[in-house]
Structure 1
Amino acid sequence: KESEALCSKTLNEKELGKFRQAVKDDYYFQMYYDDLPIWGFIGKTEKILRRGAKPEFRYYLFTHVHFDISYNGDRIIEINVSTDPLRTVDITDGDSATVDFSYSVKWKETTIPYARRMEKYSRYSFLPQHLEIHWFSIINSCVTVLLLTGFLATILMRVLKNDFVKYSREDDAGASDDSEETGWKYIHGDVFRFPPMKSLF
């Protein structure tokens, strides 16, 4: 089916603001056709660079959606959706805008059996490409946390080791019972002391 008008919508200032923010945040729409999921971005952002000036951003709303549908007999096997980058409405400025939405469909016969139609979704990610999880960043963060934990553990072990060596030498030298305690031993018994005004707890 060639391009066919879907509807015409006049967006007010509030609605334009919502669409503008959605395009800026890379929002995408989600639909299901015969239980098959499809996704697509609702708009695009263009960055305009001018010498000696700050970058300017323009926000465009897609107004046309094209469906490619593959079928085998009376069964839908695969469906893909795409937006037309040439059919857009500039929603960067203005208090209102009239948007004419349209769609088109292309049917294509395939020999893929109905039982294998979900294989596509097991091989590829559902989400648009740049919305996929950044595994490298996650692994990098985990490695950083492990390194910092190991670094702190090493420092703590050195401190405790020095304290144990010091106390061991004092014991070997026969230190008196009334000698002043230092380090972690100085507060090791605080866990058994009741806090002031314990009745409040």
Structure 2
Amino acid sequence: MGALGCWLVGLVAVVVTGMVSGFYLPGISTTSYTQDSPIDVYADRLESTHDSLPFNYYNLAFCEPEGEKKRTNMPNLGEILMGERDELTAMKAYMLGDRTCSIQCTKTLNAKQLKALREKIQEDYYMHLNVDNMALVIRGTSGEGSYPILGMPIGKFQDGDAVLHNHYKLLIKYHKSEFSATDLNIKNRKDDEVFNIVGFEGSPESRDYEDASEKEIVKQCKNNAGKPLVVSSNPAGQKITFTYDVTFEESDIKWATRWDNLLEADPDLRHVQWVVILNSIAITLFLTALVAVVLFRTVYLDFARYNNIDDSAEAQEETGWKQVNT
């Protein structure tokens, strides 16, 4: 089989593979949950309105799920094009199961990690979380009312100190699905009542639990006691505990319109990373041109080789008749 045949076989294989995998695009099909179904909380990236350079969520010393840090969510089409990957966080949620003051982890951060935290807080970095491909928003207020803000700030500067947000109040809005429990996307079926996630909101807080025990941490958290957690500059490091709440709220919003609310997001935080987009377009065009040149040269050489074979055969045939006539 010549080079042209190999290219044709490869092209058919690519087309068939695309047809097989093209029945489902992550983030397009609904995911239905029953009561107590696990809901994974994913982190996308850390992004700032003052710095165009995004960072991986685990570049900072956030809590990691035990043995599952490398587990990533199946990206949707937009995330694939933008080169984004969602990574599992240590926060756990179960459909309709409210959680109060759950502990993610307690970590002792060294001086280098604390310095990185202070820098990112000063540069106004936001974390981007999502559940079921639904981005987290916080509520901002203005003279015209409230509006959603994409992402959640990792901290703030207060009286010259870097204050870390180490407690997250998460609100998951759900809508009772109109589909039956025979839906293939349902996870851990227990009854006929199924739900779709239609909203994800958060509210960050700062709480200094100091060196309290786990029981005392939960008590302080529930009483909303304690002062804000200031990121230390102590070379010996600092112990930090991360906690979170999860609350569920029924909503009239249907799954098909759940993204409409994000269109009203604060334009300052909804900015598009033009540098990343242009870079992706440039790489795509370069690779496309490279493949086109290679394909053209291969096909051209194949046809040229076949033409040479025909010319040689005709020349031999003509030469043979001349020899007979002579």
Shorter chain as denominator, the TM-score bin is: 0.5 to 0.7
Answer whether contact 1:10 1:98 (CA < 8 A) is retained. Answer: yes
How far has the Cα of 1:123 moved from its partner?
Answer: 2.3
Percent identity reads: 23
How far has the Cα of 1:17 moved from its partner?
Answer: 0.4
User: 1-side partners of 2:158 and 2:122: how far apart?
Assistant: 10
The one-letter code matched in structure 1 to 2:162 is: Y
1:93 counterpart SS class:
coil
Greater strand content: 1
Answer whether contact 1:7 1:100 (CA < 8 A) is retained. Answer: yes
2:121 counterpart SS class:
helix
User: 1-side partners of 2:107 and 2:121: how far apart?
Assistant: 18
User: 2-side partners of 1:84 and 1:13: how far apart?
Assistant: 23
User: 2-side partners of 1:112 and 1:132: how far apart?
Assistant: 26
Partner of 1:120: 261
Partner of 2:4: none
Partner of 1:15: 113
Whether 1:67 and 2:170 are equivalent positions in the alignment is yes
Give the total of aligned pairs. Answer: 122
Partner of 2:126: 28
2:100 counterpart SS class:
coil
User: 1-side partners of 2:257 and 2:205: how far apart?
Assistant: 29
Partner of 1:37: 135
Whether 1:84 and 2:205 are equivalent positions in the alignment is yes
User: 1-side partners of 2:267 and 2:251: how far apart?
Assistant: 22
Match of 1:98 among 236, 239, 255: 239
For structure 2, list consecutive stretches of 5 or more residues without a partner in the other structure. 1-98, 137-150, 177-194, 209-227, 273-326
Cα 1:23–1:101 change in 2 (3 A) is same
User: 2-side partners of 1:62 and 1:77: how far apart?
Assistant: 25
Partner of 2:100: 2
TM-score scaled by length of structure 2: 0.35
User: 1-side partners of 2:114 and 2:243: how far apart?
Assistant: 19
Partner of 1:58: 161
Cα 1:85–1:15 change in 2 (3 A) is closer
Answer whether contact 2:206 2:229 (CA < 8 A) is retained. Answer: no
Cα 1:126–1:101 change in 2 (3 A) is farther
Q: Please identify the structure whose Cα radius of gyration is greater.
A: 1
RMSD over aligned Cα atoms: 2.0
Deviation string, structure 1 residues 126-152 (Cα, Å, up to 9, x no partner): 764xx869xxxxxxxxxxxxxxxxxxx
Structure 1 consecutive aligned stretches of length 4 or more whose deviation exceeds 4 Å: none
Answer whether contact 1:69 1:108 (CA < 8 A) is retained. Answer: yes
User: 1-side partners of 2:158 and 2:196: how far apart?
Assistant: 40
Deviation string, structure 1 residues 36-63 (Cα, Å, up to 9, x no partner): 112101111013xxxxxxxxx1111111
1:89 counterpart SS class:
coil
User: 2-side partners of 1:92 and 1:100: how far apart?
Assistant: 14
How far has the Cα of 1:12 moved from its partner?
Answer: 0.1
How far has the Cα of 1:31 moved from its partner?
Answer: 1.5
Answer whether contact 1:42 1:62 (CA < 8 A) is retained. Answer: yes
TM-score scaled by length of structure 1: 0.56
Pairing 1:142-161 to 2, within 5 Å after superposition: none
